[in-house]
Amino acid sequence: MRTKGYLVLFFLLPSLLATAQMQDFRMGIQMSPNFSWLSSTDRLISPNGANLGIQFGLQSEMYFTDQIGIGIGASISFNQGGRLYHEIGGNLLPNSELTNKAYNTGIKPLPDGTNIRYKLQAIHLPVGLKLRTAEYGYLRYFLEAPIIDPMIISKSHGSISGVNVDLEGENIRKDVTKLQPSIGIGLGAEYSISVHNALIFGVYFHKSILDLTKNGKKAILVNDNGTPSTADDVYRQETEDAKIRMNRLQFRLGILF
């Protein structure tokens, strides 16, 4: 229900605010270095590293009073995601188009202790309520919240590492959920450089609200038959039920015209 509420807000907010008389409209460009990482609800799947990424795009602001308005953007980001450590191995990427099919064929193609790093490219169309202060000299401060972003994953690649496993640049799009709406908040400042132009500095945090991964299958050892060889081991296969969500900390630099 909460996810549906966010999506309804995303579609209704622009139309509701469009009924108000806009006093100020500005457009600009932004570049935002960011860190992204993954969180998990399963104690056997844990975060094990962040990604350093970048986001480029357009942004616009429409104010219906001097201090209250909305921000709308369109941008593309690169190298989003993070790394996950799987304490128990198995067929963790059953649908992916791996270069070596042996790593997603059978009950346990990937060993215990496997790391999977997600490297995602995404399209962003955020809409957010923006509140700003009066101008103090050349400065204004602002709060942007909530920000609803129906993020769409356009490309999904991954690296897989573990005992006797080292794969880079694998196509894992079929094991990644394409629609990744997120909710966020941002704080920052505008510095006026002319009557109509301003530099933007901001710090934003976004958290996705849907599971990023299409859960694979883990293989739990049931019986090793008393031998050191793994060839005769007996496993019980279980579908992972972890909820994996992406978090992004963004440092925005931009200019408004």
Query: What pLDDT band is residue 20 in, cutting at 50, 70 and 90?
Result: very low
Q: Is the pLDDT of residue 183 over 60?
A: yes
Asked if the model's pLDDT at residue 4 lies above 80, the reply is no
pLDDT of residue 234 exceeding 60, the answer is yes
25: confidence class by pLDDT, cuts 50, 70, 90: confident
Average confidence score pLDDT of the chain? 89
The structural domains of the chain, with segments of one domain joined by +, span 2-36+51-80+120-156+171-256
**Which residue did the predictor score with more confidence, 236 or 9?**
236
| Region of 152 on the Ramachandran plot (φ > 0 left; ψ -120 to 50 alpha; else beta) | beta
**pLDDT bracket for residue 12 (50, 70, 90):** low
Confidence of residue 171 (pLDDT cuts 50, 70, 90): very high
Do 252 and 71 meet the contact criterion of CB atoms below 8 Å apart?
no
Please give the Cα distance from 106 to 95 (Å, whole number): 12
| Model confidence band, residue 228 (pLDDT cutoffs 50, 70, 90) | low
pTM of the complete model beyond 0.85: yes
Which pLDDT value is given to residue 235? 80
10-20 CB burial, b ≥16 within 10 A, e <16: beebeeebeee
Give the separation between CA 206 and CA 228, rounded to whole angstroms.
Answer: 47
The predicted-structure confidence for 150-166, as pLDDT tens digits, reads as follows 999 999 999 999 999 99
Chain Cα centroid distance, residue 69 = 25
Fold (CATH) for 2-36+51-80+120-156+171-256: Porin (2.40.160)
User: Is the pLDDT score of 96 beyond 50?
Assistant: yes
- For residue 225, name the pLDDT band (cuts at 50, 70, 90): low
Residue 230 pLDDT > 70 = no
Q: Are 160 and 175 in contact (CB under 8 A)?
A: no
Average pLDDT rounded to a whole number, residues 54-77: 95
